[in-house]
Amino acid sequence: MLARIRDHLQRQDGVAAVEFAVVSMVFLVLLYGILTYGFIYSMDQSFNHAAEEGARAAISQTTEAAAITTAHDTAYERLHSYQPGLLTTDVVATVADCDSGYRCITVTITYPWSTRPIIPKFVGLPTPNQIEAVAVVQLT
């Protein structure tokens, strides 16, 4: 009886390696998903914060042109150190009429994740095409 159990255990020498290979692939995909979505969420929060900071900075300006320049530059500065791949064209500041009849500045930050991903894409893992943040502040 003992010899039969010993023979059975000796025949399964490679099973642990195969099980480890299968389980480690599942854990690596899970880790990749956590890192990718965590980074996307972090970028989204940073973009929202930078857009809000840019819009707030524009309030102190006396002309619309100065407000647009200040909003754009402030938002871009907040993100440039965090995201070196961000282009100046990804940050847009515009002044237009609000619904209430006042003038408002809108700061929009758009990052095309599908064409410039920070973390390489993994087959089958859905990610957003772009990450966008918008902040609006009333000027007058």
112 in a domain, yes or no? yes
Total number of domains constituting the chain: 1
User: What is the residue-level pLDDT of the chain in tens, covering all 140 positions?
Assistant: 667 766 666 666 677 788 888 899 999 989 999 999 999 999 999 999 999 999 999 998 889 999 999 999 999 999 887 777 788 888 999 999 888 888 999 999 999 988 888 888 877 788 899 999 999 999 87
What residue type is 41 in one-letter code?
Answer: Y
Positions of E strands within the chain: 91-97, 103-111, 131-138
What residue type is 30 in one-letter code?
Answer: L
Longest dimension (CA), the chain: 93
Which residues constitute the domain of residue 69? 12-138
Both structure tokens of 118: 């920070």
Place of tokens 């619309």: 64
Place of tokens 């299968």: 22
2 in a domain, yes or no? no
Both structure tokens of 102: 């006042």
pLDDT of residue 51: 94
